[in-house]
Amino acid sequence: MSGREQAYLAEVFESNYIAPLGPMVDRFEHSIQRFTQTPYALALASATAALHLALRVLGVGVGDYVLTSSFTFIGSVAPILYQNATPIFIDSDYASWNLDPTLLEHAILTAPKKPKALILTHLYGQCAAIDPILAVCDAYGISLIEDAAESLGSRYRGGQTGTLGTLGVYSFNGNKILSTSGGGMLVSSDPHLIDKARFYATQARENVPHYEHLEYGYNYRMSNVLAAIGVAQMEVLNERIAQRRKIFGWYREALGEIEEITFMPELPDTVGNRWLTTLTFEHTNPNRVRLALEKEGIESRPLWKPMHAQPLFKEALSLQNGVSDTLFAKGLCLPSGTQMDHDTVIRIAHLIHKAL
């Protein structure tokens, strides 16, 4: 926390807006709009809810196909199932660890039916190759939804991830670069999509005095209490990004000379938020390193297991090139919290050295 959260929470209690909606929700939405330079934002209960609404407002439903990054977290993909649509998983490339643009057109051409949307993840805060991906989406009339849950503040050629497609989402879950304990945001430059999403997020209530329903919705709005935390968190976003990038730099200084280590790259003309410092080992099993750190009370984690390799999706359509399977087999996420100092990073680097 930044230290200012409790002051804003006190304002919430004084105003007695202990509800979804309220002045803090508006302030939080405005601060995201300002920071990301996007005209419309909708604060929600989670990024998973935001992705669900994105699909709903784009009209994705039964019998539809949705293209998606395979190398991602389940929260990216589960909303496709909520809409009874069918995912098509696309593998990564080594340049970005994100969706391989060269597979995209083939995925569209070989799909049983033209896909309606692409959910593109910017993994660990690293920008995906948006320009070539967007070019293919535009050529085939496919809506791009950016899953920027992990990449708030990451910049692709000067533009913010999350704002470059039709819709974008951010997460404020406990583990993300900013946290409201739980929460998400849907952003777009299309006011009609955001208005529709707001309508579905508040039980699809018609604009009449009594409760009238032509459609069903969800209870997906963010609470005014949690939005107060978000307002305070936004004030330190730039510091957080600078600190995460510094931590990445310390790790690279300490471990970069080791030949079998490769850090997650960064595409040219992009600046990621380095949400987590992640790397791969060419020969050593990353579990050995993970267990050596665990012995010292230090938590590290495997990279995301690709969706095409999940038992849940063993029948699913996918385009694979072996990249995300290899990253999963060889990779590790290192401790990256912004409260870490240089000595702590050096201590972890030393333990990794020893384990190798």
Ligand X SMILES: *Cc1c(COP(=O)(O)O)cnc(C)c1O
CA distance 34 to 40: 10
Nearer to ligand X, 48 or 300 (CB): 48
Cα separation, 4 vs 56, in Å, equals 36
Minimum gap (Å) between residue 284 Cβ and ligand X:
26
How many residues make contact with ligand X (CB under 6 A)? 14
Q: Toward ligand X, which CB reaches closer, 254 or 277? A: 277
Burial (CB count <10 Å: 0-12, 13-18, 19+), residue 285: exposed
Pick from 31, 68, 70, 76: which binds ligand X (CB under 6 A)? 76
Long-range contacts formed by 191-199: CB under 8 A, 24+ apart: 191/39, 191/40, 193/40, 193/57, 193/58, 193/166, 193/167, 194/40, 194/41, 194/42, 196/57, 197/42, 197/53, 197/54, 197/56, 197/57, 198/42
> Shortest approach of ligand X to residue 149 CB, angstroms?
4
Give 186 or 348: the residue with its C-beta nearer to ligand X: 186
Determine, following the binding rule CB under 6 A, whether residue 171 of this chain makes contact with ligand X.
Answer: yes
Site string for ligand X, 135-164 (x = CB under 6 A): ------------x-xx--------------
Contact positions with ligand X (CB under 6 A) in 27-56? 46-48
CB of 48 to ligand X, least distance (A): 3
C-beta nearest to ligand X: residue: 75
Of 104-123, which residues contact ligand X (CB under 6 A)? 121
Which residue of 68, 143, 161, 173 would you call a contact of ligand X, by CB under 6 A? 173
Nearer to ligand X, 65 or 73 (CB): 73
DSSP string, 256-298: TT-TTEEE----TTEE---SSEEEEESSS-HHHHHHHHHHTT-
Instruction: Please name the residues in contact with 335: beta carbons below 8 A apart, sequence gap of 6 or more.
Output: 298, 299, 300, 344, 348
The interface region with ligand X, picked from 70-78, 92-100, 257-265, 306-314 by CB under 6 A, is 70-78
- What's the CA angle centered on 297, arms 301 and 174, to 5 degrees? 55
Cα dihedral 133, 72, 146, 300 sign: negative
Alpha carbon distance 168, 51 (integer Å)? 8
Residue 97 found at the interface with ligand X (CB under 6 A): no
Q: How far is the CB of 173 from ligand X (least distance, A)?
A: 4
Q: How far is the CB of 260 from ligand X (least distance, A)?
A: 27
Q: Per CB under 6 A, does 266 bind ligand X?
A: no
Closest by Cα among 226, 214, 217 to 184: 226
CA 171 to centroid of chain Cα atoms: 6
Q: Residue 338: which of 264, 276, 265, 257 has the closest Cα?
A: 276
Task: Indicate whether 280 belongs to the interface with ligand X (CB under 6 A).
Answer: no
User: In this complex, which beta carbon is closest to ligand X, that of residue 147 or of residue 266?
Assistant: 147
Q: Whose Cβ is closer to ligand X: residue 121's or residue 243's? A: 121
Using the minimum distance from each CB to ligand X, give the nearer residue, 230 or 255: 230
Strands 143-147 and 261-263 turn out to be unpaired
75 touches ligand X by CB under 6 A: yes
Among 38, 68, 72, 154, binds ligand X (CB under 6 A): 72
Interaction between residue 73 and ligand X (CB under 6 A): yes
> Under the rule (CB under 6 A), what is the footprint of ligand X?
46-48, 72-73, 75-76, 121, 147, 149-150, 171, 173, 184
